[in-house]
Amino acid sequence: SQQGEEDPQALSIQEGENATMNCSYKTSINNLQWYRQNSGRGLVHLILIRSNEREKHSGRLRVTLDTSKKSSSLLITASRAADTASYFCARGYNFNKFYFGSGTKLNVKP
Amino acid sequence: EAGVAQSPRYKIIEKRQSVAFWCNPISGHATLYWYQQILGQGPKLLIQFQNNGVVDDSQLPKDRFSAERLKGVDSTLKIQPAKLEDSAVYLCASSDTGSAFDEQFFGPGTRLTVL
């Protein structure tokens, strides 16, 4: 797409394993946000990383940002069945614009 | 704190009919967004309001879609006439100031099926 890609499109792992999903972008961003969407709770904000940050943590989530490669990764450690959802990155541009990617569908098998 | 409210939750119409969706954002949030999410895809921004002014409507198909946010609070999105390809979930979101650094809070969405 014009704004970048997310990969993989789908990921299936066992409970307890780690899950990594990636987000690329094409033009300079102000920040990048990760959201989760499942049928129970809709779209929910997980974490924001600013363009001058390289890594952020929130509980079992770890986000990295590599501006030289124009990419970000979301790592979920010790996954649980409840982490089954689609994960989207939203690229923030020009201080007030967002573009969501097509997401990664994560399935965590119990 | 009450979340973003949307109604209806589901709507089935025939092509060429009209439909309207309603959204009430979180109290005090200046910015309101309408997104279209087609099955298997990410949300696509249709229109962004800052209070009752439009910030971005570059991806809104203006020949058939319209939106308003009177008094800078709740908002309606209308499709007239609907096409088959409009079948999607329409999501409303709000944020405090509209900065790209703000978290967006999403409503449950309205699932539209056009037959």
- Compute the nearest-CA separation of B108 from chain A (Å): 6
- pLDDT tens digit string along B51-79? 889 999 999 999 999 999 988 899 999 99
Tell me if chain A has a CB within 8 Å of the CB of B24.
Answer: no
Q: A43 CB near a chain B CB, below 8 Å? A: yes
Per-residue pLDDT band at A106 (split at 50, 70, 90):
very high
Give me the pLDDT at residue A41, please. Answer: 72
Find the closest chain A residue to B47 by CA distance. Answer: A97
pLDDT-based confidence at A1, cuts 50/70/90?
low
A3, pLDDT greater than 80:
no
Residues 76-115 of B with CB under 8 A from A: 91, 93, 98-101, 103-109
Cβ atoms of B112 and B13 within 8 Å: the answer is yes
pLDDT tens by residue, B15-56:
999 999 999 999 999 999 999 999 989 999 999 999 889 999
Please tell me which of the candidates A44, A98, A100 has its beta carbon nearest to residue B100: A98
Kindly list the residues from chain A whose CB atom is less than 8 angstroms away from the CB atom of residue B42: 88, 100-103
**If DSSP states are collapsed to H, E and C, what string results for chain B?**
CCCCEEECCEEEECCCCCEEEEEECCCCCCEEEEEEECCCCCCEEEEEEECCEEEECCCCCCCCEEEECHHHCCEEEEECCCCHHHCEEEEEEEECCCCCCCCCEECCCEEEEEC
* Arithmetic mean of pLDDT, A42-60: 94
Average pLDDT value for residue range A36-51: 89
Q: Which two tokens stand for residue A84?
A: 């089954």
CA distance A9 to chain B (A): 10
- Location of structure tokens 């780690």: A18
Residue B1 confidence (pLDDT): 63
Rounded Cα–Cα distance for residues B3 and B5 (Å): 6
Mean pLDDT of A9-34: 94
- Given pLDDT bands bounded at 50, 70 and 90, which one contains residue A58? very high
